[in-house]
């Protein structure tokens, strides 16, 4: 004990630093633990664990928080006038010319202030199928969908969905404010530090806090961009069966005929490839075959 008191006398600033760190590290956990205990304790004598609603059942949704303690998900923010909603749309289109339609889709989105994320065209020799992923300004999404429908022979399927990220955004804002206050306290301690060890320790903590702040700001920026630019995925093909949906009428003679022709072409191509392999490997298997035939001929009894 005497050594501990001597160390505290000689390292007062380091001791204060440890107390500040412990306060900001364990304060959220103690607060969360006490609130959970207050909410659960009055009901433990009346409700068993089997009677509690399952996680994710719509009434209680718990997410793991830092430190291994379960904490509620981001609380809703009802006072926000404009919610941040990340919208995604999926459009399956039957077109006459896939390549031309892909170019028209990309050019139109560029003209609307959006941009292409990726574009992929497969099976160009048979029934071309294209997948184009785009980002378009959220206010232009409805007009873009209307224009893309006009490019199709028929729209086989369409889906529009949204994800509200407002609560996540403000939760990050709250965490940023806490980190900024903690950083300010460490900067004050840094100005009062005199020993090199204390200076290095405070600087290390400031670097860690700044990394956390930059990470949260990056996530906030991602949510802002995601809400500002809707994601649009367009599937295009000249064959209705190649699109990602189940046709209402599965039996169609014309479509089945096309599938049979393609299967026949695939079989002929496979046979042609096998013939080419046989010819290329002829210098290897042909001498062996000749030797085997000669040996068999010599072993036959002479009349």
The residues with which 229 forms a beta bridge, in sequence order, are 137
Rounded to whole angstroms, the Cα distance separating 251 from 254 reads 9
**Domain co-membership, 118 together with 196:** yes
Residue 19 corresponds to which tokens in the numbers above? 């107390």
**CA torsion through residues 93, 97, 98, 102, sign:** negative
**Domain co-membership, 66 together with 84:** no
**Domain co-membership, 206 together with 93:** yes
Residue with more model confidence, 52 or 28: 28
Domain holding 30, by residue range, is 1-51+60-73
pLDDT at 115: 92
**Domain co-membership, 171 together with 220:** yes
- pTM across the whole model: 0.53
- Indicate the number of domains in the chain: 3
**Domain co-membership, 96 together with 231:** yes
Minimal CA–CA distance to 163: which of 234, 87, 245? 87
**Domain co-membership, 105 together with 175:** yes
**Domain co-membership, 89 together with 237:** yes
**Domain co-membership, 99 together with 199:** yes
Average pLDDT score over residue span 249-255: 61
Rounded to whole angstroms, the Cα distance separating 20 from 190 reads 13
Residue 106 corresponds to which tokens in the numbers above? 């990309």
**Domain co-membership, 243 together with 134:** yes
**Domain co-membership, 207 together with 148:** yes
Run of H or E including 116: strand 115-122
Other beta carbons less than 10 A from residue 131's beta carbon = 16
pLDDT at 131: 92
């Amino acid at each position: 004990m005497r050594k501990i008191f001597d160390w505290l006398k000689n390292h007062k600033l380091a001791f204060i630093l440890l107390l500040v760190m412990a306060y900001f590290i364990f304060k959220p956990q103690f607060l969360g633990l006490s609130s959970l205990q207050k909410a659960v304790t009055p009901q433990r004598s009346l409700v068993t664990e089997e009677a509690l609603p399952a996680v994710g059942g719509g009434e209680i949704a718990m997410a793991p928080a830092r430190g291994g303690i379960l904490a509620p998900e981001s609380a809703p923010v009802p006072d926000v006038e404009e919610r941040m909603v990340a919208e995604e749309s999926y459009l399956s289109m039957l077109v006459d010319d896939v390549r031309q339609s892909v170019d028209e889709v990309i050019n139109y989105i560029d003209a609307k202030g959006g941009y292409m994320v990726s574009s992929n065209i497969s099976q160009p020799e048979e029934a071309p199928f294209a997948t184009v992923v785009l980002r378009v300004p959220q206010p232009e999404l409805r007009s873009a969908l209307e224009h893309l429908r006009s490019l199709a022979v028929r729209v086989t399927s369409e889906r529009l969905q949204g994800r509200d990220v407002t609560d996540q955004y403000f939760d990050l804002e709250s965490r940023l404010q806490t980190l900024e206050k903690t950083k300010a306290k460490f900067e004050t301690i840094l100005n009062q530090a005199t020993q090199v060890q204390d200076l290095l320790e405070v600087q290390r903590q400031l670097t860690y806090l700044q990394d956390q702040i930059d990470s949260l700001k990056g996530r906030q920026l991602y949510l802002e961009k995601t809400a500002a630019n809707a994601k649009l995925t367009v599937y295009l093909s000249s064959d209705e069966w190649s699109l990602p949906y189940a046709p209402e009428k599965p039996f169609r003679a014309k479509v089945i005929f096309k599938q049979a022709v393609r299967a026949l072409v695939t079989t002929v191509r496979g046979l042609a490839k096998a013939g080419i392999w046989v010819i290329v490997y002829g210098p290897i298997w042909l001498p062996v075959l000749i030797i085997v035939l000669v040996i068999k001929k010599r072993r036959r009894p002479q009349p």
